[in-house]
Amino acid sequence: MQPARPPSREPAWKGAALLTGGFVVLLWLLEVLDTATGHPLDSYGVQPRSEDGLVGILLAPTLHFGFDHLVSNTIPVLVLGFLTLATGVARGIAATAIIWVIGGLGVWLFAQPGSVHAGASVLIFGWIVYLIVRGLLNRRTTEIMIGVAVFLLYSGALLGVLPGQPGVSWQGHLFGAVGGFVAARVLTTRRPRESSLTHY
């Protein structure tokens, strides 16, 4: 009688693809609903230093100001969200939660009162920084390669943390990036460098 085999584990990339795809579907469904009902959801973004605006910390990354806004975020969410989750779904979810909260809280504390901030770009900027810093810290070959690829593809986007473009929440970009850095430091175990051997 052969011993029972342990149940096989699904590869992390399958869970990553399912979760990222499901999140993007949610974003589109919410925007369809918002547009069809006259954009009432737009007011649920982050409203800085307003008690009513605190709910936006939880909701803002799922809301967008029209389809143009959502279209511009869709591909980066698919790519960067998948890469964040693909090397470990639980760790990727934890990183996303840290980015989500720090990004939203930073906007609520420091952005201009009377404004409303929404959009998944707070996550996008957080994921960019998280993936780059994670590769630098843990020195795993796969994650270094991911970090380098993300840097080459998206490093120019990091200029979005600077003020200057009207109608763009640079505070969301900035504090999303801060959240990504914090997530990488908190969740990444730094691997020691291997001592080099010198042969005589």
CATH number, domain containing residue 16: 1.20.1540.10
Asked whether residue 195 is assigned to any structural domain, the reply reads: no
Evaluate whether residue 110 is within a structural domain. yes
Asked whether residue 192 is domain-assigned, the answer is no
Domain assignment present for residue 3? The answer is no
72 within domain boundaries? yes
pTM: 0.88
Query: What residues make up the domain containing 160?
Result: 12-187
| Number of separate domains in the chain | 1
Q: Give me the DSSP letters along 131-177.
A: HHHHHHHH--HHHHHHHHHHHHHHGGGGGGGSS-STT--HHHHHHHH
Q: How confident is the prediction along the chain (200 residues), in pLDDT tens digits per residue? A: 455 555 556 678 899 999 999 999 999 999 999 999 999 999 999 999 999 889 999 999 999 999 999 999 999 999 999 999 998 999 999 999 999 999 999 999 999 999 999 999 999 999 999 999 999 998 889 999 999 999 999 888 888 788 877 778 889 999 999 999 999 999 987 665 544 444 44
17 within 8 A of 82, measured Cβ to Cβ: yes
Within a domain: 200? no
Domain assignment present for 6:
no
